[in-house]
Structures are given as C-alpha cells and as structure tokens.
Structure 1
Amino acid sequence: MRAIAVGPDQRLALTEVPDPEPGPGELLIDVAAAGVNRADLLQRAGHYPPPPGASDILGLEVSGTVAGLGDGVSGWQVGQEVCALLTGGGYAERVAVPAGQVLPVPEGVGLVEAAGLPEAVCTAWSNLVDVAGMRTGDTVLIHGGSGGVGSVAVQLATALGARVLATAGGAERAERCRDLGVEVAIDHRAEDVVDAVHSATDRRGVDVLLDVLGAGALEDNVRCLAADGRLVVIGLQQGRRGEIDLGRMLAKRASLHATTLRSRPPAEKAALVAEVREAVWPMLHDGRVRPVVDRRVPLADAETAHELLESGQVFGTVVLTR
C-alpha cells in the first residue's frame, strides 16, 4: 500500500510499505481520509515518538470502510463506514486498529469529514468532562477555539450547557468562533486575554480552562481561574517548562492537570470511545456538534497539509484524502 514516510531531512514522501494485517481484536480499515493534527508535526520533528509497538507512520485518526476483521471481532461488517482513533498509522491507504477504538460514521456526517472527529472529540470530551468535571452552568475558557480540538471543544461545551469563552488569532477567526457557539471570543493578537476574561466574568474568572499553550501561558492561565478552577493543559505550543505561582493556586483552591491521549492503554481508549459514542454521537446526529474541516488535501501532498497547519491560517482541521 502507499503511505507517507518521514525522511532523514524530515521531508514527507509517498512510499510503498507492506499492507497491515488485522490482529486478534482488530479491524482493517480502507482509509478514505486521515485527520492532520499538531501531534503529527511534533512527531515529524522528532519530539513526539510513537509508543512502543505502535506504527511509526504519522496519523492519529482516520475514516474509511471496514476491509477485514481480526479474530474475535464482532459487531462490525466489511464495507461498513467507520472512523477510528489511532496510536499511529493514519497517513496510509490501510490501517489496522483495535475494534474498541472504532466508531460508526455519524448520521449526517460525510465520510471524509468524519476523519476529523475521533482525536478531537475524544480529546475534548475526556479533558472537559472526565478530567475537569465540567458541569452545566460552568464558565469555560478554551484556548485555540479555532483549532481542530478547539473548534470541537467549544461546540461540545456549549451543547453541555457551559458558558464558553475562547481565544483565537485575529478578528475574523474570533468571529467564526462565535458562529460555533462561543459567547465571548477573544482576539489574542489585539486583546489582553486576562483583562478580557475578567471583564466578561465580572472578575470572577473561569471554572475550567482548556489550554494548548503550555509554559508560556501558565501565569496568565492561573490568573484567569475562578475559585476552585481547573486548568487542563493538553498542548505545549509556548514551551514545556515554566513557573507557576503556587500561592495564587492555593488561594483559589485551583487544580492543574496535564494529559495526553495517545499513550493511554488500549482498554482506557476503548472505554473513552464507548463513552463518546454514547454521549457525543447523538449531538453529531442532531447537529449540535459538527466537524469543522478547513481543507481537503490529497495524501500525496501531506507536506502541503503540514505547511497549512503550521501557518496558523487553518480554521478547524485539515484532512488528507485518497
């Protein structure tokens, strides 16, 4: 089959590799499209290696049709349209994945668009609901509301009854966040984020903050939190190491969580996928949540897809297509 390989110079190239075979408990999927995530850019640069035993091919989510069933798999049929959360291997024509990480393509969502759902929805749900314990009526700040995870997270939080604030780079991108349900969209290029949050909340702050920035935003993030606020870090776009004011954290009874999805054991991923299917898939069926796909790029042009994502001009996600 054809797949994208990362060369010694970190360039991406289409190459021929052996077809995967579904092992016990796995499905083989003919890939229609693969989601492109910032984690792929990090892996390409050598900063986010796959877990032991995982494919070294880039790609953490795909959509396609079931092409084969491994031993012990039931409940799926060859030819069924699905999308899947991967540990790697998505930038290819076929991929084998544990059956517990596979989801049916939601009714009303196109097969290609579904490629942008598994990683984003599972990340948003697990961190907002499972980790942060977000509840109806909470005020939530989502950094990067115009990104792949962010664009899903703002819709999910809105659908669950939260008051949603989000940051985005530029007035136009901020306005598009409002179209997704954001009540207060903050252009971080033109506004002071802390001042904007305090103004929007009468200086109370936010109950939950979903952060993709990391070290460079730590101080401001803590200042944005309300009493008993929960800061969840899921990205490191502004650095890995930073200082935090523990006195301010103690005064606010605040908590800090840092999580990643890729390295979780298969059983944990399967439990999360089952939770998402029960809780979020109905929201996709009725339109409360929808995938936000900015561009479709042919698999052979994966280099272009990465350039687009790095440019900061993408709203939502980019998918690679066959």
Structure 2
Amino acid sequence: MKKIEIPSAGSYDKLKIVECEDLTPKAGEVVIDVKGIGINYADVCIRLGVYESAKKYVGWPITPGFETAGVIKEVGEGVTKWQVGQEVVAFSFFNGYASQVCVPETQILNVPPQFSLMQAAGFPAVFFTAFHALYHHVVLRPNSKILVHSAAGGVGTALTQLAKMAGHKVVGVIGSSHKREYLEQFGPDKIIDKSKEDLWKEAEAFSPEGYDIICDANGYTTMLDSYKHLKPAGKLLVYGAHSMLSKKGGRLNYLKAGIGLLKTPKFNPFDLISNNKGVIGFNLSFLFGEQDLILDCVSKLEEIFKSGKIKPIPITEIPFEEVAKAHQFIESGNSVGKIVLKI
C-alpha cells in the first residue's frame, strides 16, 4: 500500500508518498481498499503543526486524513455486519491519506444511496461536525434562526442542509460572489456575500432580534460580532480559526497568527451570565474516545441519509499524487463543497 506521510511541520513539500506493508485487521476491525479521500482544512493545520490532537496523540511523522470511501478488503474476527467486497464509507483518527485504512467496524457506514462512492468520501467529517454541533451541543427550538459563516464550504453546506431539513431559518455567509450559485441549491433563507455587502447590517435586517445559533470557524475576524448578534439564550459555536492562517504560500505566518491570537476575543464567564449567552468550542478529533457520541452520529446520520432529504455535496476530484494541489486549493479559500483525492 501507499500513504502520504508528513515528517515534520512545513509547506507542501512535506507531503511525502511512501510505500509500506498492507494492513491486517485485528478483531472487530475492517481493512478497506480506498478509492477516495476527503480533504479537510484540519489536514492543513496538521501539516502546519498547529493541530492540537495530532500533536497530543501522534506527533511526527503523521499521516493525515479523517474520511475515506472504498471497498472492504478484509474483515477481522467477530465482524459480522460488513462483508468483503462491500462499498463503504469510513472515518478514522488520522491515517486517511492512504490506499488502505484499517478502522473499527463501528466507524463504517453504508454509502448513502443518492451518493457516488467519491461523493461519499467527502461526507463523514463535515456531516459529523455539523450533526455534533447542532444536536450534541445545543437544544434547537422550533424555527430557530441560524447564521452559518463559510456556508459554501463542506461543514457550512452540511450545517445548512441539516438545519433546513429540521425546519429552521438559515442565513449563509459567503466570502466570494462565485459561491452564491453553489450555495443556492441547498436552500438557505438568505445568502450574505460579505465581499459586496455589509455582513452585519444584512444579518440584522433579516433578524433584528438576533440569532439562536451562530456557527463560526473564522476566528478573530468575526467571532466577537458573532457573539454580539446572538439572541438572549443564543449560542456561538466555534470550531476553527481559519483567519489566523495564510491563504497562500503553504507556511505558517507567525506574525499573522500572533496578531490573530492577540485579537481573539476573551469571554468572561460573568459576562456570559449577564448576557444570557453561551460560547461553545469543539474539535471533532477529540471525539474518538466518546463512543456513545460516535454511535449516535453514525446511527442518526444513516437514518437521515436513508430519508433522501440530504443532497450530495459537490466535489472537486484531484489525483492522490497531486495532494499538494488539494492543500493549496482548500487553503486559498476559493473552493466550494468538498475536495476529494482520487486513488
């Protein structure tokens, strides 16, 4: 088998393709011949050396990647649900950038009937993130108003679809005009193009009383204003800080990151009490030790996909050998939907 290994923090040249022995499953595990690999912004953070769970649990060298789709090659002792030859989707604790992955059987899902195999490779991480955000961290009251930053990205698209499916009002924020047509197909109630419009003026016009939920992975550039635009009892969900990192060059700009860190707002618990608002941060990669939450994500998402109410997220396919191109594209902020490496 082959995999992409990162020996140390750095730019695109650190993405090395290496050959290694085929994988063998232990009891309760499944080996999959991978056909497609979903790319996530977290993979960029891993390469740059700023992803906390990668530093804490793996170190260097590391093979990034949280989601794959392919065909089952071998099953371990005790596995009865899955059979050799089945097309499946898997999510993994790193190690996804490879021609084979070995995962516990509980981390495998059927390919949704409306998805191609390559489209399926791009759904676990973003839909798990979106589901975990909306159903494990907050209580969504009927007809909640939800503002989603970066709504044309993978997680943003998943959040928009899950929220609309549940009957809520969704405002999707985009940073470039070419993303509007893409986002329209998922039915948000309003799209704000912050490259042409005043983001918060438009947000206030749609919901003068504020928002029940605001989903923000931008970081310091929008975080404080997001908090200010919550209703009483509203929740700010934070799961990234993309604005602290560069959009080109492939390296960590320490000055930019440092300035971003200094500008990141600090929330005083007493202010949260007085304002009756909440700020919730999470990182999906720390969820792997919480089997009850993982199993809930798996079972509920399978039900949702079987309903046929979720559309596949459009993908951009890039050959496995051109992984650097995939990282450049997602870093640029110009991509929409999902990027998938094809083997």
TM normalised by structure 1 equals 0.92
Range moving further from structure 2, 56-65 or 282-291: 282-291
Percent identity over the alignment is 29
Range moving further from structure 2, 36-45 or 286-295: 286-295
Map of 2:234 onto structure 1: 229
- 2:68 is the alignment partner of 1:62: yes
Map of 2:139 onto structure 1: 133
2: CA distance between counterparts of 1:174 and 1:251?
37
- Matched residue SS, 2:164: helix
- Matched residue SS, 1:265: helix
1: CA distance between counterparts of 2:57 and 2:6?
18
Assess if the C-alpha contact under 8 Å between 1:167 and 1:174 holds in 2. no
Following superposition, the deviation at residue 273 of structure 1 comes to 4.2
Assess if the C-alpha contact under 8 Å between 1:64 and 1:111 holds in 2. yes
Following superposition, the deviation at residue 111 of structure 1 comes to 0.8
Assess if the C-alpha contact under 8 Å between 1:145 and 1:151 holds in 2. yes
Assess if the C-alpha contact under 8 Å between 1:222 and 1:248 holds in 2. no
Assess if the C-alpha contact under 8 Å between 2:114 and 2:312 holds in 1. no
Map of 1:204 onto structure 2: 209
The AA in structure 1 aligned to 2:3 is: A
Return the match for 1:254 from 271, 277, 289: 277
Assess if the C-alpha contact under 8 Å between 2:150 and 2:172 holds in 1. yes
- 2:46 is the alignment partner of 1:43: yes
Map of 2:339 onto structure 1: 318
Assess if the C-alpha contact under 8 Å between 1:205 and 1:225 holds in 2. yes
Range moving further from structure 2, 189-198 or 60-69: 189-198
- 2:36 is the alignment partner of 1:33: yes
2: CA distance between counterparts of 1:249 and 1:184?
28
2: CA distance between counterparts of 1:248 and 1:92?
47
Map of 2:318 onto structure 1: 297
Following superposition, the deviation at residue 113 of structure 1 comes to 0.7
2: CA distance between counterparts of 1:115 and 1:47?
25
Following superposition, the deviation at residue 196 of structure 1 comes to 1.5
Map of 1:2 onto structure 2: 2
Return the match for 1:274 from 262, 284, 295: 295
2: CA distance between counterparts of 1:57 and 1:293?
25
2: CA distance between counterparts of 1:136 and 1:17?
52
Assess if the C-alpha contact under 8 Å between 1:229 and 1:252 holds in 2. no
CA displacement, residues 241-295 of structure 1 (integer Å, 9 cap, x when unaligned):
62246476444311111001112234x2x43443334433344344421231331
Map of 1:216 onto structure 2: 221
- Matched residue SS, 1:302: helix
The AA in structure 2 aligned to 1:310 is: E
The AA in structure 1 aligned to 2:32 is: I
Following superposition, the deviation at residue 74 of structure 1 comes to 2.3
Following superposition, the deviation at residue 174 of structure 1 comes to 2.8
- Matched residue SS, 1:174: helix
- Matched residue SS, 2:130: helix
Assess if the C-alpha contact under 8 Å between 1:4 and 1:300 holds in 2. no
Query: For 1:179-194, what aligned pairs fall within 5 Å after superposition?
Result: 179-194=185-200
- 2:265 is the alignment partner of 1:243: yes
Assess if the C-alpha contact under 8 Å between 2:70 and 2:87 holds in 1. yes
CA distance change for structure 1 residues 193 and 249 in 2, over 3 Å: closer, same or farther? farther
Assess if the C-alpha contact under 8 Å between 1:59 and 1:90 holds in 2. yes
2: CA distance between counterparts of 1:95 and 1:171?
38
For the aligned residue pairs, the C-alpha RMSD in angstroms reads 2.0
Return the match for 2:328 from 294, 307, 310: 307
The AA in structure 2 aligned to 1:254 is: K
1: CA distance between counterparts of 2:148 and 2:271?
21
Map of 1:52 onto structure 2: 57
The AA in structure 2 aligned to 1:5 is: E
The answer for unaligned runs of 5 or more in structure 2 is 245-260
- Matched residue SS, 1:214: coil
- Matched residue SS, 1:112: helix
CA displacement, residues 80-114 of structure 1 (integer Å, 9 cap, x when unaligned):
11111111111110011111111111112111110
- Count, aligned residues: 319
Map of 2:173 onto structure 1: 167
CA distance change for structure 1 residues 309 and 53 in 2, over 3 Å: closer, same or farther? closer
Query: For 1:104-115, what aligned pairs fall within 5 Å after superposition?
Result: 104-115=110-121
1: CA distance between counterparts of 2:319 and 2:288?
31
CA displacement, residues 88-147 of structure 1 (integer Å, 9 cap, x when unaligned):
111110011111111111112111110011111110001011112223311111111011
The AA in structure 1 aligned to 2:319 is: P
1: CA distance between counterparts of 2:293 and 2:226?
27
1: CA distance between counterparts of 2:150 and 2:313?
14
2: CA distance between counterparts of 1:272 and 1:136?
23
